[in-house]
């Protein structure tokens, strides 16, 4: 294949994954190339996605994000002006058996998107061509480009350049037969997490908005209504701690749900109202424990690249910076 040069809008680029890395990349090049984003799920955001059940709403992935780089701060300022992102000031405590709960303080601004965490990515995807519920299972070299295929082997179109913006192991499975940098996709390590989503019959009157939980299957518990811009939702999201999730990952979902529900009810105690909804999500690639320590991976001669938080760390901002850097690389 020839070395890619973006010179006009006729260049066709496929982005696989509509999380913040993929959408950031697509947004960077949208005015210079013909970019299409493919997403296997029903919505935007990846680990910033949201679940709904009637009036109940659950931000069951990322609970907040920070902004340390100039580039990400500029984006957050833009989204704040649009009333999409706001600073979150919760009362957070640490709960540990045998010890009195104590207040935690944050030493940098923490943000949430409204009315749900994926609103940030949805806003960034405005004007982009995003194909939801369209998983890409295979890519095949065809002429000077790539043919994308779905689960049934049906072609999804031919593209000059393909960017995988999924977790590193998924990028490896898709690109391993073609990508010169494929083995570097094996470096990042992940910890899993379970997200328990609970809906109650009436508001919970707790003395905290969120809690870090120690010596428990739980690691985090957050009250949805404490987040700015949320609907009237008597909902709680409880995350398992990562080590417990590793040990319990192959257990049945029924067993995991029961264990996490018991742990959550221990924390809530007499404040627990009648449950009207219980849901569970298993995040296989929840937290990057070891990153690649490079902004992105690229084989420009073949027209393949990969980006994501796993390149730089485990924060929302890392995913943004990775997608942005790859976009700037292809802009020249």
| CATH number for the domain harbouring residue 254 | 3.90.660.10
pLDDT of residue 6: 59
* Of the residues 290, 307, 323, the one at which a domain ends: 290
Give alpha helix (H) positions in 89-221: 119-124, 168-175
pLDDT in tens, 211-224: 999 999 999 999 98
pLDDT interval class at 2 (50, 70, 90): very low
Q: What is the dihedral of CA 173, 175, 180, 183, to 10 degrees?
A: -20
Residues of the chain with pLDDT > 90, as a percent, come to 81
For the chain, the distance separating the N- and C-terminal CA atoms, rounded to the nearest angstrom, is: 18
The verdict on 322 and 305 lying in the same domain is: yes
| 232, pLDDT greater than 80 | no
* pTM of model > 0.85: yes
pLDDT interval class at 3 (50, 70, 90): very low
| 157, pLDDT greater than 90 | yes
The verdict on 195 and 113 lying in the same domain is: yes
Q: Which helix (H) or strand (E) holds 22?
A: helix 20-29
| CATH number for the domain harbouring residue 181 | 3.50.50.60
Number of structural domains (the chain) is 2
pLDDT interval class at 1 (50, 70, 90): very low
pLDDT in tens, 142-152: 988 999 999 99
Q: Which range has the worst mean pLDDT, 237-241, 273-277, 311-315?
A: 273-277
The verdict on 59 and 152 lying in the same domain is: no
pLDDT of residue 40: 96
The verdict on 183 and 67 lying in the same domain is: no
Q: Are 137 and 68 in contact (CB under 8 A)?
A: no
d(CA 209, CA 114): 17
pLDDT of residue 153: 92
pLDDT of residue 332: 75
The verdict on 141 and 277 lying in the same domain is: no
Nearest to 198 by CA among 96, 274, 93, 112: 274
Q: Give the pairing of strands 111-113 and 138-142.
A: unpaired
Q: Quote the mean pLDDT of the chain.
A: 93
Q: Which residues have a Cβ under 8 Å from the Cβ of 59 and sit 6 or more positions away?
A: 48, 50, 112, 116, 117, 224, 227, 237
The verdict on 202 and 322 lying in the same domain is: no
d(CA 323, CA 165): 8
pLDDT in tens, 180-205: 999 999 999 999 999 999 999 888 88
pLDDT of residue 129: 97
| 5, pLDDT greater than 60 | no
Average pLDDT over residues 92-96: 95
pLDDT of residue 7: 57
Q: Which range has the worst mean pLDDT, 83-87, 103-107, 253-257?
A: 103-107
The verdict on 154 and 270 lying in the same domain is: no
The verdict on 157 and 78 lying in the same domain is: no
Nearest to 216 by CA among 192, 237, 190, 245: 245
d(CA 95, CA 221): 10
The verdict on 199 and 275 lying in the same domain is: yes
The verdict on 139 and 37 lying in the same domain is: yes
More confident residue, 80 or 144: 80
pLDDT of residue 208: 92
| 98, pLDDT greater than 90 | no
pLDDT in tens, 259-306: 999 999 999 887 667 889 999 999 999 999 999 999 999 999 999 999
Q: How far is residue 308 from each of residues 95, 161, 167, 227, 320, measured CA to CA in Å? A: 33, 17, 7, 26, 8
Residue 286, domain extent: 50-117+189-290
The verdict on 111 and 135 lying in the same domain is: no
d(CA 27, CA 21): 10
The verdict on 181 and 196 lying in the same domain is: no
pLDDT of residue 8: 61
Q: Which helix (H) or strand (E) holds 111?
A: strand 111-113
pLDDT of residue 188: 96
């Amino acid at each position: 294949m020839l070395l890619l040069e973006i010179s006009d809008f006729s260049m066709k680029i496929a982005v696989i994954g509509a999380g913040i890395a993929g959408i950031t990349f697509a947004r960077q090049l949208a005015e210079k190339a013909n970019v299409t984003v493919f997403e296997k799920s029903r919505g935007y955001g990846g680990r910033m996605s949201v679940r709904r059940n009637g009036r109940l709403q659950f931000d069951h992935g990322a609970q907040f994000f920070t902004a340390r780089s100039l580039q990400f701060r500029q984006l957050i300022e833009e989204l704040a002006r649009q009333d999409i992102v706001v600073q979150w000031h919760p009362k957070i405590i640490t709960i540990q058996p045998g010890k009195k709960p104590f207040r935690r303080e944050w030493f940098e601004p923490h943000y949430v998107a409204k009315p749900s965490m994926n609103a940030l990515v949805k806003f960034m995807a405005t004007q982009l061509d995003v194909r939801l519920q369209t998983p890409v299972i295979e890519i095949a070299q065809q002429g000077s480009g790539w043919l994308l295929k779905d689960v049934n082997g049906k072609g999804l179109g031919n593209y000059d350049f393909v960017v995988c913006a999924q977790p590193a192991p998924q990028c490896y499975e898709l690109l391993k037969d073609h990508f010169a940098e494929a083995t570097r996709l094996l470096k990042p390590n992940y910890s899993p997490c379970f997200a328990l989503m609970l809906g109650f019959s009436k508001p919970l009157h707790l003395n905290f908005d969120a809690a870090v939980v120690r010596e428990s299957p739980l690691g985090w518990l957050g009250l949805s209504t404490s987040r700015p811009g949320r609907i009237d939702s008597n909902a709680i999201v409880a995350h398992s701690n990562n080590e417990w999730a590793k040990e319990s990952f192959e257990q049945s979902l029924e067993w995991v749900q029961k264990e996490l529900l018991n742990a959550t009810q221990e924390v809530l105690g007499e404040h627990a109202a009648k449950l009207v909804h219980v849901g569970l999500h298993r995040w296989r690639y929840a937290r990057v424990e070891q990153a690649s320590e490079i902004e992105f991976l690229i084989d420009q001669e073949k027209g393949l690249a990969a980006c994501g938080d796993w390149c730089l760390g485990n924060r929302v901002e890392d995913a943004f910076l990775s997608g942005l850097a790859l976009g700037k690389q292809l802009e020249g």
